[in-house]
């Protein structure tokens, strides 16, 4: 079971609005696109502004702690959503978090919200299954296939990569000395939310488990991913060819 985190603060709360009843597929009637409210969202490193995730689609799930069907649907779709390039944030609504949830139109029923890479609310609904949730996000996920549109000249060493604005991701044992300014992430628990939101950011993985972590980053849609050896030389990790990519689920509901 996934852990549902709580929204910690709201910078620009909006007036709560009444959410229309969902249809048979869990989708809500289409509403005009609108800028996402400026809220703070929980991460493993503390609260982060929703705007910090721009450059990548964001899927938000609002529900109370007892909404077992909603959390099960999110748990089923989570891996596929992240693999398609989305940042997924689960928000348990209660007490102070109710005001933040209301900014997105939450009125008590579970609510999933899809925000595109430019910070626009594109769709929302009350999906009953993981398949329903993935379908809700699919149009935005398809737009966010940035691997073919991001242009970057590449690098051969860690020094060249960092000089060009790339990020070193150190997946070694936490007790090992770290690279200066590297992002420290545990290889076995690394999630898409641990990495930079911009899928065009070059990433170089170092340490034991770097190759596996790098392949996961490629699967999440990062356009320039490398593995660095002990001397700092970089080997690119290529994505498999995708002549015409559309987001697809890897499977149906899982028990």
Is 250 inside any structural domain?
no
User: Do 22 and 89 fall into the same domain?
Assistant: yes
The answer to whether 97 and 6 are in contact (CB under 8 A) is yes
Q: Is the pLDDT of residue 255 over 90?
A: no
Provide the residue range defining the domain that includes 160.
Answer: 148-236
pLDDT band at 181 (very low <50, low <70, confident <90, very high): confident
Instruction: Give me the number of domains the chain comprises.
Output: 2
Q: CB atoms < 10 A from the CB of 54, how many? A: 19
The CATH code of the domain that includes 196 is 3.40.250.10
pLDDT tens figures, 41-87: 666 666 678 888 887 899 999 999 999 999 999 999 998 898 888 88
Predicted local confidence at residue 130, as pLDDT: 94
Q: Where are the alpha helices (DSSP H) in 103-247?
A: 130-143, 158-163, 210-219
Per-residue tokens: 239: 């994505």
């Amino acid at each position: 079971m996934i852990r549902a985190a709580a929204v910690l603060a709201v910078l620009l709360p909006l007036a709560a609005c009444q959410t229309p009843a969902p249809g048979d597929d869990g989708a809500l009637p289409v509403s005009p696109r609108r800028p996402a409210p400026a809220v703070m969202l929980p991460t493993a490193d503390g609260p982060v502004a929703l705007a910090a995730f721009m450059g990548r689609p964001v899927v938000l799930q609002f529900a109370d702690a007892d909404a077992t069907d909603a959390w099960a649907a999110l748990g089923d779709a989570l891996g596929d959503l992240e693999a398609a390039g989305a940042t997924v944030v689960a928000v348990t609504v209660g007490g102070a978090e109710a005001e933040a949830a209301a900014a997105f139109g939450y009125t008590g029923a579970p609510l999933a919200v899809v925000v595109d890479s430019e910070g626009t609310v594109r769709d929302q609904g009350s999906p009953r299954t993981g398949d329903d949730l993935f379908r809700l996000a699919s149009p935005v996920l398809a737009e966010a296939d940035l691997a073919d549109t991001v242009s970057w000249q590449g690098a051969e060493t860690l020094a060249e990569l960092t000089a060009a604005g790339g990020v070193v991701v150190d997946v070694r044992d936490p007790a090992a000395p770290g690279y200066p300014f590297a992002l420290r992430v545990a290889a076995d628990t690394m999630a898409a939310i641990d990495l930079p939101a911009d899928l065009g950011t070059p990433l170089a993985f170092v340490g034991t488990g770097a190759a596996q972590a790098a392949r996961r980053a490629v699967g999440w849609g990062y356009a320039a991913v490398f593995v660095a050896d002990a001397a700092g030389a970089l080997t690119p990790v290529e994505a498999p060819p995708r002549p015409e990519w559309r987001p697809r689920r890897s499977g149906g509901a899982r028990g």
